[in-house]
Amino acid sequence: MYGPRLARWDKAAEWPLTIAAILFLIAYATQIIARPDGLLSVACELLLYVTWAVFVIDYLTRLVITESRWRWFYRHLLDLAIVVLPMLRPLRLMRFLTVLALIGRNTGNMLRGRVVIYTVGATVLTVLIASLAVFDAERGIGDIKTFPDAIWWAFVTITTVGYGDFYPITLTGRITAVGLMIGGLALIGVVTATLASWIVERVADQNTKTVHATEEQVEQLRLEISELKDLVRGLRPAG
């Protein structure tokens, strides 16, 4: 769609970007949970800047070599957000989860499997990243004092349950909560649509089988009637 040069670049940059996302997530989590000092702290900070630079180079390169820059730009706003907001970079890992969809037996099952796997993977990563973000923002200020508390809060929020035992009070924490709630609604929508698609396909398959069975019965009756006509014609001269 955007030219052969962009397709070649995407294929070549796939694994380097994945490794960069993994390294970023490790450094980001280490900084927030372990709160290291000394050489380890410097190493984590340097790793964050290096991975950010990798994603900036990738984004600018794709923007330059694409054959339809404006269309590519507004269709890849998430990539822009990944560059502008570093904590979103691990979401690039989601595209590789679609490989598991090959276990599907037909195209419909592959599509549904891809959607389910993508949704589950994106949800887990979103919960993890949101937990890190809200823990970093709320630690020492609000009720979310430990990382397990942050994980619990993220699960409760993304499922739109909202027990209220933990809640953010900082601006960063509340923005994270809004994103999680929107993600939870989107998750419910995806699951519902996938289930509806499965039901519709099953009903369509059953209708198709019924139609085929009816056609076979009609054809069998037509053959029997034809045989009876031939038999009647054969009896007329003898009569």
Query: What pLDDT, in 10s, does the model give residues 106-143?
Result: 444 545 566 667 777 777 888 888 898 899 888 888 78
Q: Over the range 9-31, which residues count as b (16 or more CB within 10 Å of their CB) and which as e?
A: beeebeeebeebbebbbebbbbb
How many CB atoms sit inside 10 A of residue 177's CB?
Answer: 19
Report whether pLDDT(227) > 90.
Answer: no
Report whether pLDDT(1) > 70.
Answer: no
Q: What is the pLDDT of residues 170-210, one digit of tens each?
A: 888 888 888 888 877 877 777 677 667 767 777 776 666 66
Residue 98: per-residue pLDDT: 44
Of all helices (H) and strands (E), which one includes residue 46?
helix 39-65
Residue 100: per-residue pLDDT: 42
Distance CA 229, CA 172 (A): 85
pLDDT, the chain, mean: 78
Q: Over the range 121-148, which residues count as b (16 or more CB within 10 Å of their CB) and which as e?
A: bbbebbbbbbbbbbbbbbbeebebeebe
Report whether pLDDT(237) > 90.
Answer: no
Q: What is the pLDDT of residues 149-170, one digit of tens each?
A: 999 999 888 887 878 888 899 8
Distance CA 53, CA 120 (A): 29
CA 228, distance to chain mean position in Å, is 61
Domain ranges of the chain: 1-92, 104-211
Q: How far is CA 136 from CA 51, 131, 164, 168, 237, in A?
A: 20, 8, 19, 11, 101
Q: Over the range 75-106, which residues count as b (16 or more CB within 10 Å of their CB) and which as e?
A: ebeebeebbeeebbbbbbbbeebeeebeeeee
The reply to whether CATH 1.10.287.70 applies to domain 104-211 is: yes
